[in-house]
Amino acid sequence: MNSLLFFYGTLKRGCCNHGQLGGQTFVGMAQTAPGFALFDLGGYPGIASRRAGSAGVIGEVWSVDPAALARLDAFEGVSEGLYRRDRIALVPPFAAAVVEAYFPVLAVTDRPEIGSEWRE
């Protein structure tokens, strides 16, 4: 069964790591619910909960098959404790969907906040 993933950084279309999504299906543009922001982790972003006034983060939703999900977990360093994959709240049209994103395990809020959209 395929999973829906929200990508907000280097895995988006046109970005340097997008090739990791080869053979997967772009579902649509999406935005998180308010309360999320992006932080500069040195060449790539990390997403984290932020004050309620944050507008949210803009990204892409992709449908990925189980093999791609395992590949992405390895790429993001899930087993090494670098990132964790967890459910994320999105606004319509994805508000009712079960969508996951990769969250940095280490605290990122001491890093520079870069707003709602990552651009390479």
pLDDT digits (tens, 9 = 90+) for 50-101: 766 678 999 999 999 999 999 999 999 999 999 999 999 999 999 999 999 9
Domains in the chain: how many in total? 1
Structural domain containing residue 50: 3-109
Domain-located, residue 66? yes
Long-range contacts of 8-11 (CB under 8 A, 24+ apart): 8/38, 8/45, 8/47, 8/57, 8/58, 8/59, 8/60, 8/101, 8/118, 9/38, 9/44, 9/45, 9/46, 9/59, 9/118, 10/44, 10/45, 10/118, 10/120, 11/72
For residue 52, what is the domain's CATH number?
3.10.490.10
Q: Is the pLDDT of residue 23 over 70?
A: yes
- 74 or 115: whose pLDDT is higher? 74
Catalytic option among 76, 80, 100, 113: 76
Domain-located, residue 67? yes
Domain-located, residue 119? no
Cα–Cα distance for residue pair 65/17, rounded to 1 Å: 18
Is 76 catalytic? The answer is yes
pLDDT of residue 52: 61
Q: What angle do CA 55, 58, 63 make, to 5 degrees?
A: 135
Domain-located, residue 105? yes
